[in-house]
Amino acid sequence: MNDDNYAHGQDPGDSPESVVNEAEDAELDALLARFGADYHRPPDIVPREEMWHEIREQGELRRSIRRRPIWGVLVAAGLLLGVGIGIGVEVHSRVGPHANSLAQSAPRNVSQDSHQVAVAVVPSSREASGDTGAAPDSRHLQPLPTAPRVAANHGTYAAANSAPGSSGNARSQAYALATVRHFTAVEALLTSYQTESHDARGDAEMASWARALLSQTRLLLDSPAAADPARQRLLEDLELVLVQMTQLSPANTPIDREMIDGSVRHSDVITRLRTAVPAGVATHLQ
Amino acid sequence: MTAPVTDITSARSERELVTRAGSGDPAAQRDLYDRHVDRVYRVAFRLAGDDDAARDITQETFIRAFGRLGEFRHESALGTWLHSIAVSIALGALRKRSRMDKRHVPLDAAADVGANDNHADVDLREQLHAAIDALPDGYRTVFVMYEIEGFSHQEIARTLGVAETTSKGQLFRARAKLRESLKHFARDRQ
């Protein structure tokens, strides 16, 4: 037996097991000659245009989904940036003749209560009166017991309920800032959801966007940012809405969408988000 | 000696098309699609056995190919590369289907069809097709590509990423199983 025989399925060896019954083989060849071409015979006309249409549509959809995870990166980067800015603001506020002594005298064991901080951009009386010579730690701190409140168009962040110069102060500010950024991003998503048309591509994009924000929401829920009860409730409600939105798909029925709409309405999250992030802050944070 | 010149020109133009298609040029993508879709669809249909599955496999093949054209190194013909994607997708789909589809006829059962149902009017074609269907996917792929679609062992080897001897061995075993499967039927006919 030569290699060609082997190639055609004939036995290349001499062992009893592999001895080929040539009659059977000829029979098989005859069958194949008669009916082989009928095996799963494709149609004469290939549905080129229909398949091309699908390829274009699916390809574009997948590209948009691949692009969308950038939202996750952006949101994560935003959170990191927020934390960084918060720490940077605090460090910057310490720069001065008293910085070293303040750092040395700062209490080492900061109470967890210091995390109950809202972003408070409220001018102290000295700053308002133009007195900028005071040490940063002497500014008036405005306690904010509820959701973050921000006085727009002012660049100084102050932490409430925290000891001046404490390390927890910077951390709290950072979390508060990150939370405000996150709320802004979620508000953008919910606004888009309400205003954009619901087609297959849009649903996939929304679901992907919601997944990224859901991760950040859960991170914030597990962080000191959720120490404030009102903020925690808002984050929990957002989590519920975002979980529903991650399920968005072309297979959704109007009832599925109505459930999402109902959650948004019922928890009034958009209004609460807008209250937590007053106008102007989003721009200010960028 | 015009044929080689034509081949070189054709290869060069395909290389240019691949570059353009890889950078997202829809016209180039469509051109490549038109050149190769018929053969890809045929192989997909032969392996999958129905139009819906063949369409899915073909579409997925081109979507993946267009997304990965940047990785194509022109070490083989584009058609071979496309077929390797298509066969890979088809085998994945068939594995999934065979897990779910209890109607999948095992090889022994296919043999039994001939043994138990040896009426004079047994359809030879049905018998042969059932026996081919019952081949393990790996054997069946090589068998269909070689015996029915006319691929060479070299093409099959490149498509499947195996040695040519492996392709030949698979074909040999496929034919042996078919002979075994059809033996009862052939005996009854004599």
Q: What is the ipTM, given to two decimal places? A: 0.81
Q: What is the pLDDT of residues B25-64, one digit of tens each?
A: 999 999 999 999 999 999 999 999 999 999 999 999 999 9
Residue reference for tokens 């006309």: A45
**Where in chain B are all domains bearing CATH 1.10.1740.10?**
1-103
Residues 96-125 of B with CB under 8 A from A: 124-125
DSSP string, A152-183: TT----B-SSS-TT-HHHHHHHHHHHHHHHHH
Closest Cα in chain B, distance from residue A251 (Å):
18
pLDDT classification of A247: cutoffs 50, 70, 90: confident
Extract long-range pairs of B73-78: CB within 8 Å, 24+ residues apart: B74/B15, B74/B18, B76/B158, B78/B14, B78/B18, B78/B32, B78/B36
Domain boundaries, chain A: 75-99+111-285
- The reply to whether residue A39 touches residue B42, judged by beta carbons under 8 angstroms, is no
- Are the C-beta atoms of residues B185 and B126 closer than 8 Å to each other? no
pTM: 0.49
- The reply to whether residue A32 touches residue B147, judged by beta carbons under 8 angstroms, is yes
User: Among the listed ranges A66-70, A234-238, B1-5, B74-78, which one has the minimum average pLDDT value?
Assistant: B1-5
| Cα(A155)–Cα(A184) distance, integer angstroms | 18
pLDDT classification of B178: cutoffs 50, 70, 90: very high
Closest Cα in chain B, distance from residue A69 (Å):
17
Q: In CATH, what number does B105-190 get?
A: 1.10.10.10
Of residues B104 and A33, the one with the higher pLDDT is A33
Structure tokens at B20: 């353009």
- Are the C-beta atoms of residues A139 and A158 closer than 8 Å to each other? yes
| Cα(A34)–Cα(A53) distance, integer angstroms | 37
- Are the C-beta atoms of residues B98 and B130 closer than 8 Å to each other? no
The pLDDT score that the predictor gives to residue B6 is 58
For helices A200-221 and A48-67, angle between their N-to-C axes, nearest 10 degrees: 20
Q: Other C-beta atoms within 10 Å of B169: how many?
A: 18
Sign of the dihedral defined by the CA atoms of residues A260, A265, A270, A272, in that order: negative
- Residue in chain A nearest B47 by alpha carbon: A40
Compute the average pLDDT of residues A16-39: 77
**Domain B1-103 part of CATH 1.10.3860.10:** no
SS3 A149: strand
pLDDT classification of B3: cutoffs 50, 70, 90: very low
Q: Other C-beta atoms within 10 Å of B190: how many?
A: 6
Burial (CB count <10 Å: 0-12, 13-18, 19+), residue A178: buried
Length of chain B: 190
Of residues B57 and A156, the one with the higher pLDDT is B57
Cα-Cα-Cα-Cα torsion B55, B59, B65, B66, nearest 10 degrees, comes to: 150
- The reply to whether residue A35 touches residue B128, judged by beta carbons under 8 angstroms, is yes
Q: What is the pLDDT of residues A60-101, one digit of tens each?
A: 777 766 555 555 566 666 666 766 666 665 555 555 444 444
| Cα(A159)–Cα(A156) distance, integer angstroms | 10
Length of chain A: 286
Compute the average pLDDT of residues B69-80: 86
| Cα(A4)–Cα(A1) distance, integer angstroms | 8
* Helices vs strands, H then E, count in chain B: 9, 0
Cα-Cα-Cα-Cα torsion B28, B31, B35, B41, nearest 10 degrees, comes to: 90
| DSSP code of residue B6 | H
Closest Cα in chain A, distance from residue B38 (Å):
6
- In 3D space, the residue among B147, B150, B56 whose CA is nearest the CA of residue B94 turns out to be B56
Compute the average pLDDT of residues B179-187: 76
Measure Cα distances from A77 to A61, A273, B17 in Å.
25, 21, 39
Q: Which residues of B touch A10 (CB under 8 A)?
A: 172, 175
User: Among the listed ranges A150-159, A242-251, A265-274, B173-182, which one has the minimum average pLDDT value?
Assistant: A150-159
- The reply to whether residue B128 touches residue A51, judged by beta carbons under 8 angstroms, is no
Q: Other C-beta atoms within 10 Å of A66: how many?
A: 11
| Cα(B40)–Cα(B55) distance, integer angstroms | 10
A13 touches chain B (CB under 8 A): no
- Are the C-beta atoms of residues A217 and A211 closer than 8 Å to each other? no
- Are the C-beta atoms of residues B31 and B78 closer than 8 Å to each other? no
The pLDDT score that the predictor gives to residue B67 is 87
- The reply to whether residue A35 touches residue B171, judged by beta carbons under 8 angstroms, is no
User: Among the listed ranges A123-127, A222-226, B129-133, which one has the minimum average pLDDT value?
Assistant: A123-127
**Where in chain B are all domains bearing CATH 1.10.10.10?**
105-190
| Residues forming a β-bridge with A158 | A120
- In 3D space, the residue among A199, A198, A197, A269 whose CA is nearest the CA of residue A234 turns out to be A269
* Cα-Cα end-to-end distance for chain B: 53
pLDDT at A281 over 80: no
- In 3D space, the residue among B37, B41, B17, B35 whose CA is nearest the CA of residue B27 turns out to be B17
Closest Cα in chain B, distance from residue A182 (Å):
33
- In 3D space, the residue among A277, A274, A271, A266 whose CA is nearest the CA of residue A240 turns out to be A266
Compute the average pLDDT of residues B131-136: 92
- Are the C-beta atoms of residues A148 and A276 closer than 8 Å to each other? yes
Structure tokens at A157: 């962040």
